Structure 1
Amino acid sequence: MRIKDVQFGIIEIPLKKPFKTALRTATVLSNIIVMIETDTGNKGYGEAPPTGAITGDTKGSVIGAIREHMLEGLKGRNIADIENTMSFLNHSIVRNTSAKAALDMALYDLYAQRYQAPLYQILGGCRSELMTDITISVNEPEEMAKDSLETVQEGYQTLKIKVGKNIELDLKRLDKIRKAVGDDIKLRLDANQGWSVKEAIDAIKKLEDKGFNIEFVEQPVKAGDIEGMKKVTDSVMTPIMADESVFSPEDAWRLLQCRGADMINIKLMKAGGIHNALKICGIAETAGVECMVGCMLESRIAVTAAAHLAAAKKVVTKVDLDSPLLCAEDPISGGINYEKDKILLPERIGLGFGEIKGIEWRSF
C-alpha cells in the first residue's frame, strides 16, 4: 500500500451559535480537508482548521506548506513505514502544525486500514467510549447562565466555560452559572490566556472561597509565560491545565520539568498530529501528569482522529471534543458517534469515514 495521490477540499459548516472566546469569535467552521489515496484504492482523511489566533495557520499557508514542502516527499511512500514517513513530515518545514496534522491523521487512517483494525486499537486500545464536555461561549452573565441551563437540560453533565475578558465579569458569570445548573454539574474554566498572573491567582482563589468547585482552569495566562503558569499553579488549589503553552513534545518537557501545570491539553493541530501527540502522552505519563484531548473548531473528521488518540491512551483522562455538537449540520458520514456527551468509537477499520457531502476535491 503506497501513496498515489493527495488532494484537498474546503468544508464549510455553520455553527448553531457564535463561538466566542477571549481570543476570537467564529460563526462558521471553514476548514481544509485532505485525502490521501493509495495504489490499492484506499483513502485516508485528515483536516486542518486555519486557526490563526492560536496556531498562526491560514488556509493559504496550509495549502502552500503541503504543496511546496510535503507533497512530493510523500508520494510513493509505503503506508506501513509510518516512522520514517512521520520523520519526513515533521522535518519538511518548521511549524505549520495544522498542515502536518491533516496529513498525519490521513496517514494514520491508512495505517490502521493497512492492518485492518480501528485506529484506537492500533494505538493502545484502552477504551471504546469517551465522555466529552460541551463549551459555553463567553457572553454576558445572564446569557451564559441561560445557555448553561439549557445545555444541562439537554442531558450534558460537564460544561467548559469560556472566560478571560473581564475578571470581575468572569466572577459574575461563574456565580450565575453555578446557581443556574446546581452543584452536581462539573464546571471547567478556559481563560484562553486572558488573565494576568495576579488576576488569575486572585480570581481562582475567589472561586475557591465561594465553593464553586471548579474542576480545573485551563491556560489562565499567556502561552509563553511558563514562569507565570508555574506561579499560578503553585498558588492555588484548583488544578491548572496548560493548553496553548504546549504545542510540541519539547514544550511539554520544558513545562513539566518545572511543574508549570498540573495537566496538559493535547490538540492535534498544535502537536502536528497523532505522532507527536503520542510523544506528549508518554512525557506526561512519565511525569505523572494526566492529559485531556481537545480540539479547535473541527468537523467530525479531525475530532474522530482526536477521539481515537484519547481512547487509545490511559493517561488521557478527560476529553473536550464537542466541536461537531456545536455545528448546525454534519455533512460527514462515519467516524465517531455521539449519544449526548458520550462518544462511541465504532469497530470500523481506520477512522471509519464514509461519504463527505458537498466537497469538491482538488489537486495540490
Structure 2
Amino acid sequence: MIIEDIHTKRMAVPLKKPFKTALRTLEVAESVVVTIHCDNGMTGFGEAPPTVVITGESLDSIQAAIQQTLKPALLGMDVTNFEHIFHILHGSLVGNTSAKAAVDMAIYDLLAKKMNVPLYQYLGGYRHELETDYTVSVNSPDEMGEDAVQYIQDGFTVLKVKVGKDDIQKDIERIAEIRRRVGRGIKIRLDANQGWQTKEAIYSINKMAEMDLDIELIEQPVRAADLEGLKMVTDNTDTPIMADESVFSPEDALKVIHRRCADLINIKLMKSGGIYKAELINRLAEMSGLECMTGSMIESRLGISAAAHFAASKKNITRFDFDAPLMLKEDMISGGMVYNKNKIILQREPGLGITDVTSFEEVRK
C-alpha cells in the first residue's frame, strides 16, 4: 500500500450566517482538501481549514507545507507502516498542525479502508452515534436569544455560546437573555476564545452562578499562554473550566494536567496535527481523570467526519462540537457521516466513507 501521489485542492463555501467569536468573523468557509493515492488504487481524504488567529496557518501556508515538505517526505512509503509515517509527518516541520492533520486523516482513512472497517471501529469503536451542540455567535443579546430559540426549534438541546468579544457585563446580559428564552432543560456552555482577563473571568463566572444561569462549562476564558490565569479561574470558580487553545500538543496537555489548570480539555485535530497526537492527548487526560470534548474549526463534512470518527471511538470523549457543516450553504461532500438534527450517525462503509468532494478547483503545485 505505497503512497504514489498527494494532491491538494481548495474549497470555499459561503456560510448561512456570519460566524462571530472574540477572535474573528467568518463569512466563507475555506479549506485545503488533500487526497492521497496508493498503488493499490485506494484513495484517502483529508481537510485543513486556515485558522490564522489560532493555528497561524493560511491556505497558502497549508498547501506549501503539504506540497513542498510533507509530500516529498512521504512519497514511496507504505501506509501500513503508520508509526514510521507519523514519525516522519510530525518530524518534518515545526507547527503547521492543520496541514499535518489533513495528511494524518487521509492516512487513517486509508488504514481503515485497508482493514475494511469504518474508521471509528479501527480506532476503538466505542460508539457510532454522537450528539452535537450548536454554536450561537456573539451578537447583541436580543439577536443571540433569537438564534438560540431557532436552534432549539431545530432540534438541538446543547448550545455553545460565544462570548468574550467586548464588555463583561454585556456577556452576562447575553447569557441571561438566552437562558430566559430557552428555559431550563437546555445545556448552555460558554466559549470565551481567550477573550477575558483573569479577574473578570472569575467575577463573571461566579456572577452567572449567583444568577442561577446554569452554565455547564466555560471554555478557554483567558489567553492560551496564561496557564497561571487559567489555573486561577479554575481554582476560584465552581463551574467546570475547559482548556482549548492552551492545549495543542501532548506536551501542552501534560502542563495543564500537572498544574491542574483546567477540569476538561478540548481536543481539535487542527491543533493536535491529527488523530495520532489527539489519541495521546486523550490518553493523558483519561489517565489523569479529565474528560475531553472534541471540537473543530469551520470545516466541511470531510474534516468533521474524521473528528467525529475519532471522538466516537473513545469512551473518555464525552462532549462533541461538530456543528460546522450545518452552517454551510452547500454540502460539497459525497458519502460519510450523516446528520439527523442534533445527532450524527457514522456510516458503515470503510474509512471515512467519503467517496468524492465536488465543485472545487485543483491547485497545481
How would you bin the TM-score normalised by the shorter chain? over 0.9
Q: Does 1:329 align with 2:356?
A: no
Cα offset for 1:155? 1.1
SS of 2:361's equivalent? coil
Residues 304-351 of structure 1: CA deviation (Å, up to 9, x unaligned): 000000000001000001100111110111111100110000111000
1:233-252 equivalences under 5 Å are 233-252=234-253
SS of 1:204's equivalent? helix
**Equivalent position of 1:34 in the other structure:** 34
Residues 181-212 of structure 1: CA deviation (Å, up to 9, x unaligned): 00111000000000000010000000100111
1:16-31 equivalences under 5 Å are 16-31=16-31
**Equivalent position of 1:187 in the other structure:** 188
**Equivalent position of 1:10 in the other structure:** 10
Q: Which amino acid aligns with 2:309?
A: H
Q: Which amino acid aligns with 2:117?
A: A
**Equivalent position of 1:74 in the other structure:** 74
Residues 3-28 of structure 1: CA deviation (Å, up to 9, x unaligned): 01000111111101000000000001
Q: Does 1:206 align with 2:207?
A: yes
Q: Does 1:231 align with 2:243?
A: no
Distance in 1, Cα, partners of 2:146 & 2:136: 10
**Equivalent position of 1:310 in the other structure:** 311
SS of 1:145's equivalent? helix
**Equivalent position of 2:110 in the other structure:** 110
SS of 2:297's equivalent? coil
TM-score by length of 2: 0.99
Residues 91-132 of structure 1: CA deviation (Å, up to 9, x unaligned): 000001010001000010001111111111111100000000
Q: Identity of counterpart residues, as a percentage? A: 51
**Equivalent position of 1:64 in the other structure:** 64
Distance in 1, Cα, partners of 2:19 & 2:3: 37
Cα offset for 1:68? 2.1
**Equivalent position of 1:44 in the other structure:** 44
Distance in 2, Cα, partners of 1:293 & 1:356: 24
Distance in 2, Cα, partners of 1:87 & 1:293: 23
Distance in 1, Cα, partners of 2:75 & 2:101: 17
Residues 232-271 of structure 1: CA deviation (Å, up to 9, x unaligned): 0000000000000000000000110010000000000000
SS of 1:170's equivalent? helix
Q: Which amino acid aligns with 2:194?
A: Q
Q: Which shifted more, 272-281 or 324-333?
A: 324-333
Cα offset for 1:363? 4.1
The answer to whether the 8 Å contact 1:290/1:316 transfers is yes
Cα offset for 1:67? 2.0
Cα offset for 1:359? 2.1
SS of 2:360's equivalent? coil
The answer to whether the 8 Å contact 2:10/2:363 transfers is no
Distance in 1, Cα, partners of 2:282 & 2:288: 10
1:85-104 equivalences under 5 Å are 85-104=85-104
**Equivalent position of 1:164 in the other structure:** 164
1:270-349 equivalences under 5 Å are 270-349=271-350
Where in structure 1 do 4 or more consecutive aligned residues deviate above 4 Å? none
Q: Which amino acid aligns with 2:80?
A: A
1:169-180 equivalences under 5 Å are 169-180=170-181
Distance in 1, Cα, partners of 2:351 & 2:362: 21
The answer to whether the 8 Å contact 2:12/2:360 transfers is no
Distance in 2, Cα, partners of 1:245 & 1:94: 17
Give the paired residue count.
364
CA RMSD of aligned residues (A): 0.7
Residues 21-78 of structure 1: CA deviation (Å, up to 9, x unaligned): 0000000101110100101111111011110000000111111111222111111111
Q: Which amino acid aligns with 1:104?
A: D
Cα offset for 1:172? 0.4
SS of 2:196's equivalent? coil
Distance in 2, Cα, partners of 1:272 & 1:355: 23
Structure 1 unpaired stretches of 5+? none
Q: Which amino acid aligns with 2:261?
A: G
Cα offset for 1:161? 0.3
**Equivalent position of 1:127 in the other structure:** 127
